Amino acid sequence: MTFINRLKDFAVKSPWLYRINGGSCNGCDVELATTACIPRYDVERLGCQYCGSPRHADIVLITGPLTRRVLDAARRVYDEIPDPKVTVAVGVCPISGGIFRESYAVCAPIDQYFPVDVNVPGCPPRPPAIIEGVAKAIAIWRQRL
Amino acid sequence: MTSQLATLVAVLIFPGGLFALVLGLALKGADRRVAARLQGRVGPPLVQPFFDLIKLGFKRTMVPTEASETVFLAAPLVGSVAMLIGAALVPIAGVYAPDTQLGNLLVLLYLLAVPGICLMIAGSASGSPYGAIGFSREMALMLAYEGPIVLIVAAVGMRTGMAEGHWVTFSLTEIVRYQQTHGWFLFDPILWPAVAAFAFFYPANLGIVPFDIPEAETEVLEGPLLEYSGPALGLFKVMSALKAVVVLGLGIALFLPLPFTGPLAFVGWLAEIIVLMLVGVTALRVSAGRMRIDQAFVFFLKWPLLLAIASVAAVALAAGGLS
């Protein structure tokens, strides 16, 4: 049992990230994909790898207020991610709808559709906040392994 | 009986199997670390590929409904086993010489083609359009680079064989032994075209930028690997780690085996393979952009093939001049 736990402690050092854009204005995506995940802040030192396929993902980051158009596609992609997985909602839009709140075209808050584990509020959140969100998601993921 | 046991040890523990796997994963880790440093990042720890592999072991394997399940799951297994045997066929100068019962250079050439074919099968069995694109690209690339490698091996085999007084040798052990007494083929002007052709061949075989066209993450989302998850994806990682050891080991055996014996030879071989990985793979992949498949195809049919043919012709002419 302790051996399995040791292995899980090693496994948790390899969280692969996947990003779903739920109709975001791209503000959070810029902070997430081009600032927090790439050279400036370098999440690869935490073992994170940015992957193109949902099947490879461990931590899924959702941005945007989830527009009606994208709802079905986002849910299908989410189901493609193998368990155990952790969901991080990036930005204020997934929490409340942000500036798009009460629009007929959005489905926010997204926790009606996805089991959100970590919220990273902000419009957009600063890259260190996103990285902290990922770090919290890793701690939750360790319990699920 | 003892020779069978020795073969089993060679395939499963040293220099194939466990040793090659650990070495291959460590090489991948060093590659990622150094690539990050070259790009001005901190980079992951050296043991990151081991963490990745353990993690993949804990994940669920999902098989798409459109996929052909048996083929889909068998492809990574076949590829890994082929590379496991391949690693036992590569001699380490002064340390290990493969059993002739296990096979020679020709068998190794066939085994080197297996991972590519497995990727093709995996891509087409996954039922994903990206997998299908990856399949067609992998096939085009293989058709382009398989010709030159056969000719390179033939040139080196002829050079050794004719110097030893027979026609052509396909024993890597004999090639290594010849170079240990007569000096590296790397410094043999007649084989320089072959060395250059090999330098073009191995990035394509290892699937790194500029020839990672079948698995291009930014275009076809890792193509054949797109639908793989969990342990099956882990097996593909194992396959590519073993392949790095086999291909770089083959390069060392063909062109630059060390003339030492004992522990010094082993340490020297490790140093050679690490330097080849960092200079030949890491520096190349961070400094180059990706080619298009049509460019790569034409490129391989033009330069490496030409160089390889020139090399065979030069070896034949030199031997004619000798006699």
From chain A, the residues in CB contact with B73 under 8 A are none
Query: How do residues A89-113 score in pLDDT, each as one tens digit?
Result: 988 988 888 888 888 888 878 888 8
Closest to B206 measured CA to CA, from B282, B150, B134? B282
> Does A84 lie at the interface with B, CB-CB under 8 angstroms?
yes
3-class SS at B67? coil
Q: Does B218 touch chain A (CB under 8 A)?
A: yes
CA dist B128 → A83, B125, B227, B268 (Å): 21, 8, 7, 45
- DSSP reduced 3-state for B175: helix
Handedness of CA B96, B270, B49, B244 (dihedral sign): negative
| pLDDT at residue number B1 | 60
Q: Beta strands A86-90 and A16-21: pairing type?
A: unpaired
CA B140 to chain A, closest CA, distance in angstroms equals: 23
Quick: pLDDT tens for A107-130.
878 888 888 999 998 888 888 888
> Do A53 and B226 make contact, defined as CB atoms within 8 angstroms?
yes
Q: What residues contact B70, with CB distance under 8 A and at least 6 apart? A: none
pLDDT along chain B (323 residues), means of 10: 75 79 90 87 86 87 80 88 87 76 83 89 84 86 87 86 78 81 80 86 83 73 80 89 90 84 82 87 84 84 86 80 56
Res B302: pLDDT = 85
SS (H, E, C) chain A: CHHHHHHHHHHCCCCEEEEEECCCCCHHHHHHHHHHCCCCCCHHHHCCEECCCHHHCCEEEEECCCEHHHHHHHHHHHHCCCCCCEEEEECCHHHHCHHHCCCCCECCCHHHCCCCCEEECCCCCCHHHHHHHHHHHHHHHHHHC
* CA distance to B49, B155, B161, B164, B181, per residue, from B319 (Å): 47, 11, 10, 11, 19
Q: Residue B221 and residue A53: Cβ atoms within 8 Å?
A: yes
Give the alpha-carbon dihedral of B52, B58, B60, B61, to 10 degrees: 60
Highest-confidence segment of A8-22, A57-71, B98-112 = A57-71
The whole-number pLDDT of residue B136 equals 86
Are A80 and B62 a contacting pair at CB < 8 A? yes
Q: Which domains does chain A possess?
A: 14-144 (3.40.50.12280)
Q: How many angstroms separate the CA atoms of A87 and A119, rounded?
A: 9
pLDDT of residue B67: 75
Mean pLDDT estimate for chain A: 85
A97 to chain B, minimum CA–CA distance in Å? 30
Average pLDDT on A131-144 reads 88
ipTM of the complex: 0.85
Residue A85 has pLDDT above 70, yes or no: yes
Structure tokens at B228: 């793989």
What type of residue sits at position B7?
T
Which pTM value belongs to this model? 0.87
Count of CB pairs separated by less than 8 Å, A with B: 87
- A26 Cβ contact partners less than 8 Å away, ≥ 6 residues apart: none
CA distance A85 to A15: 10
Closest residue on chain A to B228 (Cα): A55
- Give the mutation candidate from A8, A9, A14 for the B interface (greatest B CB count, under 10 A): A14
